[in-house]
Chain A
Amino acid sequence: MKNESSYLPAGLPIPVAEADGLSAPYLAGLQQGRLLVQRCTHCGCWQFGPEWICHQCHAFDPAWVEVAPEGRIYSWERVWHPVHPALRERCPYVAVLVELPQAGNVRMVGNLLGDPMQDVRIGADVVGVYEHHPETSPPHSLLQWRLR
């Protein structure tokens, strides 16, 4: 039975925070349907992935701020060779690298929803779609992208 609500099949590793909790706010945000990115309150620098310190001014504990899940395709790839058992019947699929102009052009990797054989254009505008997985243990959410 195909799960229409999920771009890739179940069985891939579930994202969880590191032992020190660095990415916990980001992952918890996704579960609430909110995209959180670090922004330093001292110098305004945007930062992703998260770190304990701002790479620009070295202030500790950059703040987490909510941004709209809107961006444009910075790069992409179409994957044909499955390297995980869960993907054996699921190739090809498309992964995209999306930059967020409203958040200092930080970038995020996700999947581009729709036909895996579609023409993908660098620079195309995309909007985020939260993909919730309450059934996994622990539950988790992913951020996917569709053409605007």
Chain B
Amino acid sequence: MNARTLRGKVAVVGIGETTYYKHGQSPDPEFKLALKAILAACKDAGIEPRRIDGFASYSDDRNDATRLAVALGLPHLRSATMQWGGGGGGCCAAVANGAAAIATGQADCVVVFRSLNQGQHGRFGQAAGAGAGAATVSGERSYLVPYGVISPPQRFAMRVQRYMHEHGVRQEALRAIAMASYHHAQNNPRAVMHGKPLDEAKYDASRWIVEPFHLFDCCMENDGAAALVLMDAERAADCAQKPVYLLGAAAGSGLRFGSHAHNSAEYASANFGVVAPDLYRMAGLGPKDVGVVQAYENFTGGVLMALAEHGFFGPEEANEFLRLENLVAPSGRLPLNTSGGNLAECYMHGFELLLEAVRQVRGTSTNQATRNDVALVVGGPMVSPVSDLLLGSKAVL
């Protein structure tokens, strides 16, 4: 029987992004940003854009596949997939969905992307999350919003507080995660926080957003677009760049994780309890094989729990493991968010993390990790569903 796996079947052949902007500051409308990122990714791959026959995205991206196909004059659109739910938790699943279309013969060349212009469409999450101006609220939010639990950090802080309580994790562990992102952004000229270093005193003095999250524990808000091009492994070998192969992909959610009023069975978690084992199983790899990690920081506390759930340390070892020197390229124990990530490069809803993982495997990051043959991307901790990916070089296959 054929193993049901994406391992080695599909590769990233091109990556592209626009300039990254602070929210509302993009001079281009959202659809134009998407087109720019897609064409940049095709150029990087050295392919004619008319070879694209599929699109995949997530987080209710507004730039739909048909309009993109029309605008680009594509002769044949085959696959158009959107990951349900989870906001940024879909960033890796979108790649997996596009790859699945290729591996099963439904498409040959799929572009996966995320595009965002909040000046044009309003702030992400604001209309749905805050309900500002709404007179009434029902469903899941009716158990939270009247008590002032409204925005994403307010919805997630209690998960992290409980985890820190259960395992004795100190604030310094969250600080180290934030500092690693800012440290790497200082070498990355694309990063919005390039030239704005963060030290311990600045973190400690920053205002609380909601305890246990300081300002620097929370992701930025940005505009821009990022895209990558997928092809099957055979065609990938003919492209301009060294192919970066999908080794494993997993998405999903644990028991009742999205249950209302914070009633998930594994409440103090990032929701990778059942997802990470699927990922490692498909890849035939374990945490010891991973050389570099890009982990979605909606909030640092989600990274803390997600890294533990991916087996890099036990919860009781978090204080010892999560120290800045362990998290920085080139040779920390686990270089983390080497472009600056959601905290300091650009909050492209995690898609910038995918591009950075590809750069790491290619060996072209501005913060290149010594161990770079296997890169992990972790998408959207604490939401439902979450997703993650393992990418690797030909040597790993």
Q: Could you list which residues of chain A lie within 8 angstroms of chain B, going by C-beta atoms?
A: 8, 12-19, 23, 27, 48-50, 55, 74-81, 83-85, 87, 90, 92-93, 95, 97, 106-111, 122, 138, 140, 142
Q: Are B140 and A49 in contact (CB under 8 A)?
A: yes
> Which has the most chain B C-beta neighbours within 10 Å: A50, A76, A81, A83?
A83
Q: Are A13 and B158 in contact (CB under 8 A)?
A: no
Q: Are B211 and A23 in contact (CB under 8 A)?
A: no
Q: In the complex, A75→B157 CA distance in Å?
A: 9
Q: Are A13 and B135 in contact (CB under 8 A)?
A: yes
- A80 interface neighbour in B130, B165, B208, Cβ under 8 Å: B208
Q: Are A80 and B147 in contact (CB under 8 A)?
A: no
- B207 interface neighbour in A8, A79, A80, A110, Cβ under 8 Å: A80
> Which has the most chain B C-beta neighbours within 10 Å: A8, A48, A79, A110?
A79
Q: Are A122 and B134 in contact (CB under 8 A)?
A: no
Q: Are A78 and B148 in contact (CB under 8 A)?
A: no
Assign chain B's interface to a size class.
35 or more
Q: In the complex, A87→B261 CA distance in Å?
A: 21
Residues in chain B near residue A109, CB distance under 8 A: 143-144, 147, 149, 158, 261-262
- B150 interface neighbour in A83, A90, A138, Cβ under 8 Å: A83
Write out, one digit per residue, whether chain B residues 143-164 have a CB within 8 A of any chain A CB (1) or not (0): 1111111110110011101100
**Known: A77-B210, A97-B262, A108-B261. Contact between A8 and B147, CB under 8 A?**
yes
Q: Could you list which residues of chain B lie within 8 angstroms of chain A, going by C-beta atoms?
A: 130-132, 134-151, 153-154, 157-159, 161-162, 165, 207-212, 256, 259-263, 267-268
**Known: A80-B207, A81-B210. Contact between A48 and B150, CB under 8 A?**
no
Cross-chain pairs A/B with CB under 8 angstroms, 22 sampled: A8-B148, A12-B148, A15-B143, A18-B138, A49-B261, A74-B162, A75-B158, A75-B162, A77-B149, A78-B210, A78-B211, A80-B209, A80-B211, A81-B209, A83-B132, A85-B132, A90-B148, A95-B149, A95-B158, A109-B149, A109-B261, A140-B146
Q: How many A-B residue pairs have CB under 8 A?
A: 134
Residues in chain A near residue B161, CB distance under 8 A: 75-77, 122
- B211 interface neighbour in A8, A16, A50, A77, Cβ under 8 Å: A77
In the complex, how many angstroms separate the beta carbon of A117 from the nearest chain B beta carbon?
11
Q: Are B147 and A14 in contact (CB under 8 A)?
A: no
Closest to B207 in A: A80
Q: In the complex, A13→B207 CA distance in Å?
A: 27
> Which has the most chain B C-beta neighbours within 10 Å: A55, A75, A77, A80?
A77
